[in-house]
Amino acid sequence: MSGHERLLINGGLVLDPRSGSAESKDLLIEHGRIVGIGPPGTVNSADAARHDAHDRLITPGLINAHTHGHANLVKGVAGAWTLEASLTNGPWLAGCRDPETMYLSTLVGAIDMLSKGCTACFDLVYQFPRPTKAGFMAVAQAYADAGMRAVLAPMVADKSLFQSIPGLIDALPPDLGDTVRRFDLASGEQTVAAIESIAAAQGDLADGVTLAIAPTIPHHCTDRFLRDCIDIADRHALPIHMHIAESRLQAIVARQIYGRSAVQYLAESGMLRPRFTAAHGVWLDDDDLDLLAARGCSVAHIPASNYRLGSGVAHVRPMLARGINVGLATDGANSSDSLSMLQAMRLASFSARIFDGPREEWLTSSEVIKLATLGSAKILGLEACGRLEQGAYADLVLFDLGHIDFIPDIDPVNQLVTCADSAAVTDVMVGGIFKMRDRKIVSVDTNNLRGRVRDSVARLAAATGPAHALAEQLEPHVVAFAQSMSSERLAFERRIRPRFA
């Protein structure tokens, strides 16, 4: 992914996510990295090609700390879905995926992200009933072909949704209860063996693509399975990424099963560590945050999905106040639809203002930009990304300051968060190579993409029809049970309960 040509990008307004400021600077790029940066005309650029960036805001590539490439062929499918409704539909949403389908789905997402200024992502890859090496390698190839950096984690469990929630199966109509009792994932041993085969092939991954592991939700995993995942992570030095306290129901179920929160349980199991990321974290309490901070963990903040599924509002300020690293993410296209990190930044900024408290506790635009760059880069383990400094990877985005979003350009940094959308993105570079040029993706041929996707979606609809029909029968019962169970009060609240006179 490295560009070997010396290239001077001159005259642009370069954003520093550490300070939240933007100044006119030149950038010299060689071998995929920034080798020089300074005021216009001060960088030694002999023999370098030139790219005129006057009237452009240059930012680090945005980094998506949590998404699901398998979901891009079901974009827009969710109606009034809660998280539990989405999980009920999971088997058909991710079912019948051969390597070709997984490649195409991932490629659609990569193009979506690149076109909106995102240059790297953390993808939790799901295959039903268990991961396969062929499917995983197809996902990796899609990112390599698009030219994005990616951390890929097999998203795994050894208990189904129905097995994981106490009392749920018994609450279903008898015929549906009998059906889901026979509905098993692959055994923990089979899934562990599959992950081991993928880990053994790490060396075959393309440059810029690395491996992690994602035991999906704590109570979807047996104690033994979680211990096996920890063992794999330790032996292969892999980051760990989990969905933690995403919904009120998850927080309640954890307390029923473990007698304490999921974070407290994971702390005792040895799961929490500096390369552990808690995704969503909507229903974390102060004790949970203290534990995450003490163990050096990160949180992936995913506002669009949290609101789309009605899960609640994660309170980010207390996380930052404790020194917890927080990255920003979109989630998958089945639960947020858009993979726009620009949208994620805007939602993160505005949602921080919902909580009752002084405005000093709101997230500033510069803080939100830091979440989407430096914070997410740390989650991915890409310390050379998320910044535009000497020695950093040349992963950057050019925004048109002549676009209506920046007219007038009173405060381009603030407007990046509050105004900008993907139409203002003109160019995207990864590793010193343009992947999008003059608003056109150039890394892959997109001419026949729509037709390929249409054909693939039609094949999937036919293949997953029975599973889809079963999910439609199950969904109202699961949602009703979840709503009843979620009526239990916790000592804290993450949803707005309006009161009228």
Round to whole Å and give the CA distance between 181 and 293: 39
CA nearest neighbour of 265 among 281, 250, 254: 254
Round to whole Å and give the CA distance between 225 and 157: 8
Question: Residues 121-152: pLDDT tens digits?
Answer: 999 999 988 899 999 999 999 999 999 999 99
Residue 491 has pLDDT above 90, yes or no: no
Q: Are 218 and 226 in contact (CB under 8 A)?
A: yes
- As beta bridge partners, residue 26 has 38
Question: Residues 312-354: pLDDT tens digits?
Answer: 999 999 999 999 999 999 999 999 889 999 999 999 999 999 8
pLDDT score for 499: 63
Q: Are 59 and 23 in contact (CB under 8 A)?
A: no
Torsion, Cα 269 274 280 286, to 10 degrees, reads: 70
Per-residue pLDDT, averaged over 90-103, amounts to 91
pLDDT score for 2: 44
Residue 498 has pLDDT above 80, yes or no: no
Residues whose CB is less than 8 angstroms from the CB of residue 487 and which lie 6 or more positions away in sequence, other chains included: none
CA 223 to chain centre: 26
Per-residue pLDDT, averaged over 470-487, amounts to 94
pLDDT score for 79: 83
Round to whole Å and give the CA distance between 34 and 62: 17
CA nearest neighbour of 430 among 148, 130, 23: 148
E strand map for 324-368 = 325-328
Question: Residues 34-48: pLDDT tens digits?
Answer: 999 999 999 988 899
Residue 357 has pLDDT above 90, yes or no: no
Q: Are 361 and 8 in contact (CB under 8 A)?
A: no
62-67 vs 240-244, strand pairing mode: unpaired
Residue 479 has pLDDT above 70, yes or no: yes
Per-residue pLDDT, averaged over 256-272, amounts to 97
- Side chain identity at residue 294, one-letter code: A
CATH class in words for 62-380 = alpha beta
73-77, 184-188, 302-306: range with lowest mean pLDDT: 184-188
Q: Where in the chain is the domain with CATH 3.20.20.140?
A: 62-380
Per-residue pLDDT, averaged over 57-75, amounts to 97
Round to whole Å and give the CA distance between 189 and 244: 24
End-to-end CA distance of the chain: 60
Q: Where in the chain is the domain with CATH 2.30.40.10?
A: 7-60+389-441
Other CB atoms closer than 10 Å to residue 98's CB: what's the count? 15
Per-residue pLDDT, averaged over 395-418, amounts to 98
235-249, 258-272, 282-296, 477-491: range with lowest mean pLDDT: 477-491
Residue 290 has pLDDT above 80, yes or no: yes
CA nearest neighbour of 390 among 20, 44, 41, 11: 44
Per-residue pLDDT, averaged over 255-264, amounts to 97
pLDDT score for 500: 61
pLDDT score for 129: 84
Per-residue pLDDT, averaged over 449-462, amounts to 94
Residue 76 has pLDDT above 50, yes or no: yes
Per-residue pLDDT, averaged over 277-305, amounts to 98
CATH number of 7-60+389-441: 2.30.40.10
pLDDT score for 52: 96
- Side chain identity at residue 283, one-letter code: W
Strand, helix or coil for residue 125: strand
Token readout for 309 is 């599924």
Token readout for 445 is 């041929």
Per-residue pLDDT, averaged over 250-269, amounts to 97
pLDDT score for 315: 94
Token readout for 439 is 């608003």
Residues whose CB is less than 8 angstroms from the CB of residue 440 and which lie 6 or more positions away in sequence, other chains included: none
Q: What is the pTM of this model?
A: 0.96
Residue 1 has pLDDT above 60, yes or no: no
